[in-house]
A = this chain, B = another copy of it.
Amino acid sequence: MPQFHCTTPVQLRFSDFDSLGHLNNSVYFQLFDLGKSDYFNHVRGENIDWHHVPVMIVNVNCNFQSQTYFNETIAINTRTCRIGNKSFTLTQQLVNTATGEVKCSCDTVMVYIDLECGQPAPIPADWRHDLAAFDHLQDAPQSSCGQ
Contact = CB atoms under 8 A, between A and B. Distances in A.
A83 interface: no
Contacts of A34: 11, 13-14
A20 B51 CA distance: 6
A26 B15 contact: yes
Contacts of A71: 47
Interface stretch (A59-67, A87-95, A125-133, A135-143): A59-67
From A13, A20, A30, A59, name the one whose CB has the most chain B CB atoms within 10 angstroms: A13
A51 to B, nearest CB: 6
A33 interface: yes
Binding site secondary structure of chain A: mixed
Given A18-B18, A20-B51, A30 B59 contact: no
A29 B23 CA distance: 13
A36 to B, nearest CB: 9
Given A26-B26, A33-B14, A33-B26, A19 B51 contact: yes
26 contacts: A10-B11, A11-B11, A11-B34, A13-B30, A14-B30, A14-B37, A15-B18, A15-B24, A15-B26, A15-B27, A17-B18, A18-B18, A19-B50, A19-B51, A20-B50, A26-B27, A26-B29, A26-B30, A26-B33, A47-B71, A50-B70, A56-B64, A58-B64, A59-B64, A60-B61, A61-B62
